[in-house]
Structure 1
Amino acid sequence: MPRAHITLDRQALVAPVRRRTFGSFVEHLGRCVYTGLYEPGHPTANDDGFRMDVVALVRELGSSTVRYPGGNFVSGFRWEDSVGPREQRPVRRDLAWHALESNQVGLDEFARWLKLTDSELMLAVNVATRGILPALDLLEYANHPSGTALSDLRIANGTPEPHDIRMWCLGNEMDGPWQTGFMTADDYGKIAARTAAAMKMADKDLELVVCGSSGSGMPTFGDWERTVLEHTYDHVDYVSCHAYYQELDGDLGSFLASATDMDFFIDTVVATADHVGFKKRSTKKINISFDEWNVWYLKEHMESQQAETEWRHAPRQLEDTYTVADAVVVGNLLMTLLRRSDRVTSASLAQLVNVIAPIRTEPGGPAWRQTTFHPFSITSRLASGEVVRPVIESPVYETARYGEAALVDAVATVDEDRAAVFLVNRDLAEAAQVTIDVRGLGSSRVAEALTLADPDVYAKNTLDDQNRVVPAANTTAVLADGVLTVTLPPVSWTAIALR
């Protein structure tokens, strides 16, 4: 049995737990919005047409912010289409996902949905195929109280109070050739800087996110961030990171170590941003908005050529059904984001419903939790206070993709009267015996211990078996004399709450 030892101390604080770390992402893609969030006529639908069974699950998930309306979708989006009387809204072609967009859900409706879920809106503007003035118009419509043409239009449309949106994304994945209107780093940096400067003329307290690389595997990775930030550094607050992971060619060991790649990604972007800041002799720090991250079986999507040949409303697209192993990786990625809370101060699990999502629905039918729902919801519920950097002594193993990785990974948070420890065991075959020195936390008892694992690491929750995989109490967790001992099953994610 592999053995690991972890030391936790209140003095080894990283940063406060950022509630925005537990953000999500809703894009007008596939069935995320239509028959996901919104389905008039569903037995649970409210007067706006939103499924209240999904609202209940989103609240349980603990999602704090929602990035909207894209994603690739935003690069062809005209925001004016999505406001005003529904019967007058135009149907448009969405070139990003080869689908028809009815615009029946727009900014005002989505803002009302957010209030149902106690979530904050993070709004993306189209800088790819539009520009500065439409972004300013959207800002005026959304945030100005009254007395201007566009704020009065919002009021006439039934929303008297401004939405007061604080976080704004300046486009999406502008380095990607798949993006409508994609640009070079130099071209994007210039338009993003001008747009950001103009938006801050309207409201200096906006928090603006400039596009970083679409992934660490992009050929321009690093150079893209440097060039874009050299243009935008003085005007923006965040640079975005996007990363998706999947098991490739049966290499489960590498897949379980995906968080090591996320660490590398964050290190590189932080170093690049700080390099630009130093060159500018700036005392300002650019933080990271990791506003797309998840497990996504992109290779299978590409090989099956899911691109639509017909223009249809809300086709089934990217509806990955997740396994136990996927959930362990998602839990581990979220642990990494927590551990980097000094610079990663906002993040968005992509996406929220149906499309590579922790929640699935059937039209006219039920909504249920995917395996990946559980580590996210439990971490969101238990993590509070300050993030504690653990000292981990663990056996290591060799991966084909990422080199050497620890078998056991961990992170912890501590508040005035409670603490939480999150752990993964990446061993494919053996349980791990872990001892955790918690004397430095002042904890005296185990309040809760939950483990997500299964003898079949590819077990899934489906429409026919919605609770095949659920967390179970880990009865091996014992705290005595300041030392917590716990056994972690192979390929597992565990959360332990201490009082």
Structure 2
Amino acid sequence: MPTNNLYGFKPAAVAALKQIKAGVYRFPGGNFVSAHEWRDAIGDPDKRPPTWDPVWRAMQPNDIGTHEFITLCRLLEAEPYITVNAGLGDAWSAAQYVEYVNGSTNTPMGALRAAHGHPEPYQVKFWGIGNEMWGFTYQFGATRPESYVFKHNQFAKAMRKVDQTIIILASGAMPDTMIGSRESLSFGTNLVPEYFSRADWTGMLISNCFDYFDMISEHFYNYCQSHFDLSQGKQVPNDPNEPITDWMRRPANHVRIKYEHYKDYERLYPRLAQHPKPIAISEWAYAGNCRYPTYPAIAWALHEMIRHSGLIKLATYTFGTSLLKFEGTNVTLNANGLVFMLYSRYFGSIPVEVSGNSPQPKPTLPFGAEQPAVNAGSDTFPLDVCAAWTSNKQALVVAVLNPTDVEQTLKMEITGAKLLGSGILRRLMPVGSDFRNPIIVESEITALPTEVTTPPFSISLYELYARQ
């Protein structure tokens, strides 16, 4: 290991990730956790043997365990989110894990943590129970839904007995996920599950585990060259002539359909409306060899999360390291990483209503899988706009996304806000014809914008100062 390491991590990678100012990181991620033994990844990392990962059928170096992950989160000033093994794992081991991380030195596991060099409890608050436990055809330790809801409750009871302050995230899958994965057919004969049937995994958790979780964890992935066609019941290649806005909107549509499903749950299960269970999108990405740059699509998905931020309280992109660009010893943020940095550093935190006279096109596909009843986006088609006040209300930030490959113009009118007429424009945009390596350009705003012109594949954040 190079001598200039930072607690075992590459300083350049830590510095690049720190620019994003992410609020939370999740570990262990993905299906790996269903066969992961957390006790094998504690103590001195130099004395840990590699472990066999039966999920991915590969040797894991086992260099990153609980201590290393939390250390990285501390370096990045982010909250750790730990997922316990609900596949081949058991409730007792999960409770011991919580005690190891959060227990005092008067507890057996807290004393073991202290012996490993960290006497102070880590006070980790986010704890997920299992990963994609609805994946009956592939997930290690997957069970029938009737068995799993009992198992989840046993885990939650045991973990809360150790620490009542933790926030428990249940491993959910709304109908969109059950359809797109075809896992609905593992629990019934219909590809499209009825709400609260055994093939509606999230519905089963809501109706059987309501008192034993605080947030519902959902996942979604979009693929660059294909999408799920509900009429054919399978993943199909994209139409090469489809509008670019349809391609760019896909991840945002996945966010939108989660919102729509949740609203249906509220209608059918009134207790949920009275005692909300916020959504955490614990895994999401636009994956594959893409025809277009993905960073505008990532921004569009963020916009849709912001529009529904009263419900969607947490999201963790897959993977954190996928936001980095490695060139020899130099590590910087790639295009998607720059999107996260732009919004985390410069966007506001108090959402503001955005209206327009150019609504998004009506869906041409039936509702379900990847298609919501209403297409995601603001009424500013083909652009997408969202806005928010900064936390101190010293500035209003208006984000204008141009997901198309041509220049677009937008008329802007701001009402109900007392603004100075000055500010800063921060724009993530391509340089020349190189659409995959955009840069952030800053310029001064000297008058309130009334008509803005946005370059192709650009994200423009107008930070407009308020009168005090």
Q: Is 2:27 the partner of 1:68?
A: yes
The answer as to whether partners of 1:128 and 1:182 remain within 8 angstroms in 2 is yes
Match of 2:315 among 342, 347, 371: 347
- In structure 1, the residue matched to 2:140 is 180
- In structure 1, the residue matched to 2:235 is none
The answer as to whether partners of 2:404 and 2:456 remain within 8 angstroms in 1 is yes
The answer as to whether partners of 1:145 and 1:162 remain within 8 angstroms in 2 is yes
The answer as to whether partners of 1:422 and 1:493 remain within 8 angstroms in 2 is yes
CA 1:370/1:190 → structure 2, altered by over 3 Å: closer, same or farther? same
- In structure 2, the residue matched to 1:359 is 324
Q: CA deviation at 1:186?
A: 2.7
* Pairs within 5 Å for 1:166-177: 166-176=125-135, 177=137
CA 1:276/1:127 → structure 2, altered by over 3 Å: closer, same or farther? farther
Match of 1:471 among 440, 447, 459: 440
Q: CA deviation at 1:45?
A: 1.4
Q: CA deviation at 1:426?
A: 3.2
CA RMSD of aligned residues (A): 2.6
- In structure 2, the residue matched to 1:427 is 404
Q: CA deviation at 1:272?
A: 4.6
The answer as to whether partners of 2:131 and 2:171 remain within 8 angstroms in 1 is yes
Per-residue Cα deviation, 1:346-385 (whole angstroms, up to 9, x for no partner) = 11111111xxx111336x6221221111121010011234
The answer as to whether partners of 1:453 and 1:492 remain within 8 angstroms in 2 is yes
Distance 2:104 2:267 in 1: 39
SS of aligned partner of 2:316: strand
Q: Which runs of 5+ in 1 are unaligned?
A: 1-39, 301-321, 461-467
Q: Is 2:384 the partner of 1:409?
A: yes
Q: Is 2:256 the partner of 1:264?
A: yes
* Pairs within 5 Å for 1:156-175: 156-175=115-134
Q: CA deviation at 1:178?
A: 2.6
Match of 1:383 among 331, 347, 366: 347
Q: Is 2:153 the partner of 1:193?
A: yes
Moved more, 136-145 or 403-412: 403-412
Q: CA deviation at 1:143?
A: 0.3
Q: CA deviation at 1:396?
A: 4.5
Q: CA deviation at 1:334?
A: 0.9
- In structure 2, the residue matched to 1:463 is none
* Pairs within 5 Å for 1:37-436: 40-41=1-2, 44-46=4-6, 48-176=7-135, 177-213=137-173, 216=177, 217-219=180-182, 220=184, 223-248=200-225, 249=238, 250=240, 251=242, 252-275=244-267, 277-278=269-270, 280=271, 283-297=274-288, 325-353=293-321, 357-361=322-326, 365-394=329-358, 396=360, 406-415=381-390, 416-429=393-406, 431-436=407-412
Code of the residue aligned with 1:241 in structure 2: it is: E
Q: CA deviation at 1:256?
A: 1.1
Distance 1:323 1:145 in 2: 52
Match of 1:452 among 418, 428, 437: 428
Per-residue Cα deviation, 1:107-138 (whole angstroms, up to 9, x for no partner) = 11221121111111000000111110010010
Code of the residue aligned with 1:413 in structure 2: it is: A
Distance 2:273 2:462 in 1: 41
Distance 2:410 2:435 in 1: 25
Moved more, 238-247 or 395-404: 395-404
Distance 2:458 2:39 in 1: 47
Code of the residue aligned with 1:452 in structure 2: it is: L
Moved more, 437-446 or 152-161: 437-446
Instruction: Specify which structure has the bigger relative contact order, considering alpha-carbon pairs within 8 angstroms and separated by 6 or more residues.
Output: 1
CA 1:455/1:50 → structure 2, altered by over 3 Å: closer, same or farther? closer
CA 1:181/1:122 → structure 2, altered by over 3 Å: closer, same or farther? same
Code of the residue aligned with 2:318 in structure 1: it is: A
CA 1:100/1:433 → structure 2, altered by over 3 Å: closer, same or farther? same
The answer as to whether partners of 2:126 and 2:167 remain within 8 angstroms in 1 is yes
CA 1:478/1:193 → structure 2, altered by over 3 Å: closer, same or farther? farther
Q: Is 2:466 the partner of 1:497?
A: no
Moved more, 122-131 or 415-424: 415-424
SS of aligned partner of 1:242: strand
Q: CA deviation at 1:181?
A: 1.9
CA 1:277/1:233 → structure 2, altered by over 3 Å: closer, same or farther? farther
TM-score, L = length of structure 1: 0.77
Distance 1:155 1:457 in 2: 55
Distance 1:225 1:135 in 2: 21
Q: CA deviation at 1:51?
A: 0.9
Code of the residue aligned with 2:386 in structure 1: it is: V
Distance 1:484 1:205 in 2: 49
Distance 2:397 2:308 in 1: 16
The answer as to whether partners of 2:297 and 2:403 remain within 8 angstroms in 1 is no
The answer as to whether partners of 1:338 and 1:387 remain within 8 angstroms in 2 is yes
The answer as to whether partners of 1:254 and 1:399 remain within 8 angstroms in 2 is no
Distance 2:291 2:394 in 1: 35
CA 1:329/1:208 → structure 2, altered by over 3 Å: closer, same or farther? same
Distance 1:96 1:442 in 2: 56
SS of aligned partner of 1:444: strand
Moved more, 77-86 or 188-197: 188-197
Q: CA deviation at 1:276?
A: 6.2
CA 1:286/1:98 → structure 2, altered by over 3 Å: closer, same or farther? same
Distance 2:307 2:360 in 1: 20
- In structure 2, the residue matched to 1:12 is none
Distance 1:272 1:126 in 2: 30
Task: Figure out how many residues of one structure are paired with residues of the other and give that number.
Answer: 419
Distance 1:244 1:282 in 2: 27
CA 1:443/1:342 → structure 2, altered by over 3 Å: closer, same or farther? same
TM-score, L = length of structure 2: 0.82
Distance 1:447 1:323 in 2: 35
Distance 1:190 1:282 in 2: 24
Per-residue Cα deviation, 1:322-347 (whole angstroms, up to 9, x for no partner) = 88730111111111111111000111
Code of the residue aligned with 2:389 in structure 1: it is: V
Distance 1:271 1:131 in 2: 33
Q: CA deviation at 1:196?
A: 1.1
Per-residue Cα deviation, 1:147-194 (whole angstroms, up to 9, x for no partner) = 121110000000111111101011111122332222333332221122
Q: CA deviation at 1:395?
A: 5.9
Distance 2:305 2:273 in 1: 26
